[in-house]
Amino acid sequence: MRLSPFSFLSLFLVPLSSSAAPHHLKLRQSVTPPRHWIRLGRAPSAHIIQLRIALPQPRFPELERHLAEISNPFHGSYGEHLSKEEVEELVAPHPSSLDAVREWLASHGIRSEARHQSLAGDWVTVYVPVAQAEEMLGTEFSVWKHDKDGDVLVRTTEYSLPALLDQHVELIQPTTIFHRAKRLRSTLHFSPPPDVPPSFSADAKITIPGYAVPVDASCNTTITVSCLKQLYNMVNYVPQAMNKNGIALTSYLEEFANFADLRKFYADQVPAALNTSFNVVLINGGLNKQSDAGAEANLDVQFALGISFPTPGTFYSTGGKPPFKPDKHAVVNTNEPYMTWLDFILGQKNIPQTISTSYGDDEQTVPRDYARRVCAGFAQLGARGTSILFGSGDGGVGDGNPDPTTQICISNDGTNRTRFIASFPSSCPFVTTVGGTTQIPEVAADFSGGGFSEVFPRPWWQEAAVEKFLKSLPNGTYAGLFNPEGRAYPDVSAQADNFKIFFRGSSTPIGGTSASTPSFAGLVALLNDARLTAGKPSLGFLNPLIYSLEGKGFHDVVVGNAPGCGTPGFNATVGWDPVTGFGTPDFGRLKELVLQY
């Protein structure tokens, strides 16, 4: 007999009595739905939702202190990364919190067999019908539809918990989270290349003051692996630590990387790699359909692996596309993807030393407690010696829409203030955020995302650089439109437009910070190769090192701006700025610097 999802769950539930249900519920969170979300009506009572329960991590400040020390090149513990077990010990909840949550779940008839607990014990996950979740959380779930793209989610605008759980539960999601991971710009241009040859000859070069080698003139119209290796001084480096090093790309929203396209890319740009490929890891029902190539996935894999070849590459495909069909009572994953991926990767003994992600959304659509908790997961990876890179977004200071004339830059905190819109996870202080440049000599790409977080305070390692930038602004510039005390981003940049990839069998140009991010990640993988070859540990969390260099090892980009919210946005300027960070990398110089520590 085939069981419905509701019948299947009933095997793990015990009958409820009115006396078993906890009383004295206390409101824990209430939100205003972000713009563009329209309530369609009550969620079907039998629809299954996944609830993730976050337990407090009382020793997380200790982990944060360790991370600061092992990431600071001037500290005696630099590079002494923590083990998986040490990190788990530092994020484990107090046993009393686990007991309280288990008792609460049991009071609602949820047996131990129906609970999933993370290895550290700091997350407990259950699948329950909507009717069960509504009773547990004293709320009402609804079906919500996004009026721009039609996505449908099951969410509530508030939830409550027994007062006895106050100190034992940090948050429960997905409840009030309307955040959706979106691909960054990745603008495809399908027009065929012109028949007329370019005006420059095949051997024409551009000499750029301060850059190590001349650059092919063709790179001003088409970016290839060769262009990036010339621009960023990687031409002559030969990796040697392939058996110790690794690079990975993450994929969500059913974006698949195509092996045949990669072979064509390698034949065109990296002939030595022609007979190689990458490892695919499927998470939470993820797929990698070869009949349905994704431009984003192809871009990530082709340039990250093309630059770092022959470093072993991994492609993580995380399943669970959020949209829900309200007329189907099926088990679907309505959770945003970063925590699903983090659950998996934090449980692995061995992790690639460099991981790149090209997805994000408006920071203000993410409940603050959830944003902090996801960000804390990235801190755990950094503590274990992995560098996490995210694109800065493609809407300048605006809401992620690459067309600045149609951006809506209004706060969703009930005040309806005009505000610049930060991007998440780009704004997380425990990731390295990559902005975009274009042209040769390089200028800021006009879509390069950047700004200041409304959630995360400015971290210690960027105090001096950001203060210097803020003091350079004329008095009153954009006053009230951004939080000058917030974590500022991006940290660095790289070329971000006119990339030549292979997609569905043909070459096509593509661009966005989803191009600059895997490119910078490929360079970081080579820096890790140099350190590992020299017997040193991987770089891990990059930001304290980057800011301590004060621009050394980078080409400062001082021309351009990234408009948004009806303004010209911030300008690229001398030193760090919230358009290009410290600028673009010089691998040769950075290699010398990182081998000193």
**Domains of the chain with CATH codes:** 5-57+92-177 (no CATH), 187-322+336-594 (3.40.50.200)
Token pair belonging to 268: 């065109």
pLDDT above 60: residue 496: yes
On whether the CB atoms of residues 87 and 67 are closer than 8 A, the answer is: no
514 is known as an active-site residue:
yes
For 513-549, the pLDDT digits (tens) are 999 999 999 999 999 999 999 999 999 999 999 999 9
Q: Which residues pair with 49 in a beta bridge?
A: 128
For 244-273, the pLDDT digits (tens) are 999 999 998 888 999 999 999 999 999 999
**575 annotated as ligand-binding:** yes
For 125-154, the pLDDT digits (tens) are 999 999 999 999 999 999 999 888 788 889
On whether the CB atoms of residues 289 and 317 are closer than 8 A, the answer is: no
- Report pLDDT for 327: 44
3-state secondary structure of 561: strand
394 is known as an active-site residue:
no
Is the N-terminal amide bond of 214 cis, ω within 30° of 0? no
Token pair belonging to 485: 């005390």
Give the pTM: 0.92
**399 annotated as ligand-binding:** no
Confidence of residue 361 (pLDDT cuts 50, 70, 90): confident
- Report pLDDT for 20: 37
**557 annotated as ligand-binding:** yes
For 387-430, the pLDDT digits (tens) are 999 999 999 999 877 666 677 799 887 788 899 999 999 999 99
Q: What does the H/E/C string look like for 111-171?
A: CHHHEEECCCCCEEEEEEEHHHHHHHHCCCCEEEEECCCCCEEEECCEEEEEHHHCCCCCE
Q: Which residue is catalytic, options 423, 493, 514, 519?
A: 514
Dist. CA 192–CA 196, nearest whole Å: 12
Q: Which residue is catalytic, options 122, 261, 300, 529?
A: 300
3-state secondary structure of 464: helix
The average confidence (pLDDT) of the chain is 90
On whether the CB atoms of residues 178 and 151 are closer than 8 A, the answer is: no
On whether the CB atoms of residues 376 and 343 are closer than 8 A, the answer is: no
**What single-letter amino acid sits at 62?**
E
- Report pLDDT for 200: 56
Confidence of residue 17 (pLDDT cuts 50, 70, 90): very low
Dist. CA 233–CA 211, nearest whole Å: 8
pLDDT above 50: residue 16: no
Q: Which residue is catalytic, options 122, 170, 216, 296?
A: 296
- DSSP letter at 365 equals G
3-state secondary structure of 226: helix
**577 annotated as ligand-binding:** yes
Which sign, positive or negative, has the C-alpha torsion 31, 423, 432, 472?
Answer: negative
**What single-letter amino acid sits at 147?**
D
The CA-based dihedral angle spanning residues 436, 439, 444, 446, taken in that order and rounded to the nearest 10 degrees = -80
In this predicted model, which residue has the larger pLDDT, 54 or 339?
A: 54
261 is known as an active-site residue:
no
On whether the CB atoms of residues 590 and 502 are closer than 8 A, the answer is: no
For 300-315, the pLDDT digits (tens) are 999 999 999 999 999 9
Per the document, the length of the chain is 597
Token pair belonging to 577: 């700025």
- Report pLDDT for 211: 96
For 62-96, the pLDDT digits (tens) are 999 999 999 999 999 999 999 999 999 999 999 99
Dist. CA 519–CA 387, nearest whole Å: 14
